Structure 1
Amino acid sequence: MRQNPSFALSDVGEIRRLIEQNPWVTLVSSTDAGLVASHYAVLLDAERDDLTIVGHVGKPDDLIHGLGERELLVVVQGPHGYVSPGWYGDVESVPTWNFVSAHLTGIPELLTPEENLEVLEQLVTRFESGMPQPRLMWAPPNDPEFVRRLEKGTTGFRLTPTRVVGKRKLSQNKPDEVVETVIVELEAGTSPYADPRLPAEMRRDLETRKAAR
């Protein structure tokens, strides 16, 4: 991802927040057969306060990616959306796309079966917790044999990135009043290509920048 100093996202806390709120990621590997991409959910490692993530892939994706043997690129995509040049007023301008994203790169560590079970349980707990009647991994009608059989079909991993590129492009290069207009247009649903979380992210960023002046 090409970096621009005006849009750089380097704060670890903010990137952790991005991962926490956007756990569905893209895994990319360069293999002898070419580029390979897969999509899985990940979590921040609960025992670390850095950008270490844990997750799993279904077999044989572990072999396809060469998991644990070569670099893995993890693409975390946050809120994003189209910004019309018409929102800038009567000035020369072109369309753009606002977004928040981070790329984490490193060689993942493969987890033991027991560690993988713990991560699988954490994933289920995380995403079932918001359901009206959560079905946790070990809860009936699942029995231990069923759960352990499922684990054998997956490979767990832990990735501590050795390279991180984060980008937050939220109209920071525009005057405050223009940013406010873009936020209002996005909140009104004017663009059909917008994540409804985007205007809230833009407002949070704008207020942070104002407070720092």
Structure 2
Amino acid sequence: MYTLPHFKEPDEQVVIDFVKKHPFAMLIGVDAEHQPVATQVPVFIDERDGQLFLTGHIQRKTDHHKAFEQNPHVLAVFTGAHAYISASWYENKEVASTWNYMSVHAKGVLRFLSNAELYEVLKRTTHHFENNPHSPSLVEKMSDEYVQSNLKAIVAFEVEVKELNHVFKLSQNHSKKNYDQIIHQLQQQGGEAKEVADIMEARKHKVFNK
């Protein structure tokens, strides 16, 4: 991971809040033959007695399920909006263009959960993402026959996070004039670029009022 000091957030809660805001993680592992595997799934991050845990579920009998059975070490990658930054926007244009982005890497050890725990994970998942207590798509609103048949195809997991790293690369190493110009240029583009600009604007006081 890119780990220059000025791209670090000193408040770990800000990093955890980023994970909660971007829960669709890339789970990466290595199987018994040392081949990489990966899948993208929504996960929750929780703290219990000072320890961070990730929780979610995956489909059974996939390459990643088999790999995590053989090797429980996992890397979960969380990413947000990103944007190309042109050096033509800088006061000094004789430097390289770059990319602004935010990313969190959680390394840990995965264990698979019981069927009872799986059901609770699904309840939490549907309640959180449906965000509607009356939705017919909540697990407990579905027929038991349908739920039980689908439980056979998936498995819940929990990852005990051993290491949490991040990079919030948002032009913090530039002058205020460059910083403001980057924000202006990104705002004109809309979409993810504007989202990056809005994040930079919200964080500007941290960069220049230290």
TM-score normalised to structure 2 length:
0.87
Match of 1:87 in 2: 89
Cα 1:195/1:56, change in 2 over 3 Å:
farther
**What is the root-mean-square deviation of aligned Cα atoms in Å?**
2.5
Q: 2-side partners of 1:25 and 1:195: how far apart?
A: 21
- Percent of pairs identical after alignment? 24
Residue 208 (structure 1) aligned with residue 209 (structure 2): no
Q: 2-side partners of 1:134 and 1:195: how far apart?
A: 36
Q: 1-side partners of 2:104 and 2:118: how far apart?
A: 25
The 5-angstrom pairing of residues 131-210 of structure 1 reads: 135-139=137-141, 142-189=142-189, 194-210=192-208
Q: 2-side partners of 1:200 and 1:145: how far apart?
A: 47
Alignment deviations for residues 108-166 of structure 1 (CA, whole Å, 9 cap, x no partner):
12211111111111111121117996632222xx2022112222211111112112211
Cα offset, 1:12, TM superposition: 2.2
Alignment deviations for residues 180-210 of structure 1 (CA, whole Å, 9 cap, x no partner):
11111111117x8x45421121112212334
Alignment deviations for residues 39-77 of structure 1 (CA, whole Å, 9 cap, x no partner):
111112376775321111111135332248420110111
Match of 2:116 in 1: 114
Cα 1:175/1:134, change in 2 over 3 Å:
farther
Where in structure 2 are there 5+ consecutive unaligned residues?
none
Where in structure 1 are there 5+ consecutive unaligned residues?
none
Q: 2-side partners of 1:67 and 1:165: how far apart?
A: 25
Count of paired positions: 208
Q: Which amino acid aligns with 1:171?
A: S
The 5-angstrom pairing of residues 39-78 of structure 1 reads: 39-45=40-46, 51-61=52-62, 63-67=65-69, 69-78=71-80
* 8 A Cα contact 1:111 1:155, kept in partner: yes
Of Structure 1 and Structure 2, the greater helix share is in 2
Q: Which amino acid aligns with 2:7?
A: F
TM-score normalised to structure 1 length:
0.86
Cα 1:133/1:110, change in 2 over 3 Å:
closer
